[in-house]
Chains A and B, each alone.
Chain A
């Protein structure tokens, strides 16, 4: 899923400083699962804004809505009759959400309420790790099912750098050297020699190097 983290409330408060009626829009997708942008967090942000205004001796009306997803136009459409009632909208979906809202509602002032961090998963309650960098051509099968692009600090694909130190990456003692993990995994499967196989350099045109990406599937179009 996409992992995000809440923006500091001070920053959000500043964004809406001149507003008296705000709509906080959550999303039931990834950000609900990583506990940053679902109905619960919409409630927490709404309460926080109201408390902050109480402190300032001012009032603010904050309404709450949580859409099925903010990255599909049919759900974004659900607020079409009310969006005009607000001075500002804070979307706490990933970066896609506030953009879909601003595209659909060109006259609305839309603010992003979270910082979108990475694609990953929960390794424990409250702990998320990056797993994929969206390179557009998955090659993890060549590396024991482990992605060196997202998980090696240098995205090396031909073995560890000289900084690998007792299983830890040179950037931090808290970060595993993923090449250490890859080599151990290949050894345990008796397939270490596969890492020696020649592979042509990876094309990054499917990644961000090819510019903004778009995908069309004719069989799904209506």
Chain B
């Protein structure tokens, strides 16, 4: 049987995560193909609806990669994003979907390796949970 490849959407802050992605690229730490990146100027702008849309469109997992809590480019963007991710987890739970399908990660611009590792980690986790539609 073919192994299930989860479709994952990653919202990445252009100040840290996207910079880390560029470094990762340079280091030839290749991002898994099943992870689609959406770059945003600040993760604080990501709303609940943005986080739900990928699930509606067929994604199996979603994550936000933004700054470290104490060094956010716009002070509190990533903590706002974390609260919205938590809210989406609550919504998912209410409709009997595993809340672990959405997560938030903190990275910094220099963490090229960590950036690809997060993508792989999320892929592993969602693969374990399985597709949304049984």
Residues of A within 8 A of B (CB): 8-10, 13, 40, 43-44, 47-48, 50-52, 54-55, 57
Is the Cβ of A52 less than 8 Å from the Cβ of B47?
no
What total count of A-B pairs have CB within 8 Å?
48
Find chain B residues with CB under 8 A from A51 CB: 52, 55-56, 92, 95, 97, 132
Is the Cβ of B56 less than 8 Å from the Cβ of A55?
no
Q: How far is the CA of A143 from the CA of B58 in the complex (A)?
A: 57
**Does any Cβ of A come within 8 Å of B134's Cβ?**
yes
Additional A-B contact list (18), CB under 8 Å, known A47-B52, A55-B133:
A13-B95, A40-B47, A40-B49, A43-B49, A44-B48, A44-B91, A47-B53, A47-B55, A48-B52, A48-B95, A50-B56, A51-B52, A51-B97, A54-B55, A54-B58, A54-B132, A55-B134, A57-B134
Q: How far is the CA of A55 from the CA of B134 in the complex (A)?
A: 7
Query: Among B48, B55, B91, which residue has its beta carbon within 8 angstroms of that of A9?
Result: B91
Interface of A is mostly: helix
Q: For chain B residues 68-118, which have a beta carbon within 8 Å of chain A? A: 91-92, 94-97
Find chain B residues with CB under 8 A from A55 CB: 95-97, 132-134
Chosen A-B contacts, 17 in total, with CB atoms closer than 8 Å, are A8-B94, A9-B94, A9-B95, A10-B95, A10-B96, A40-B47, A48-B52, A48-B95, A50-B56, A51-B55, A51-B56, A51-B95, A51-B132, A52-B96, A52-B97, A54-B56, A55-B133
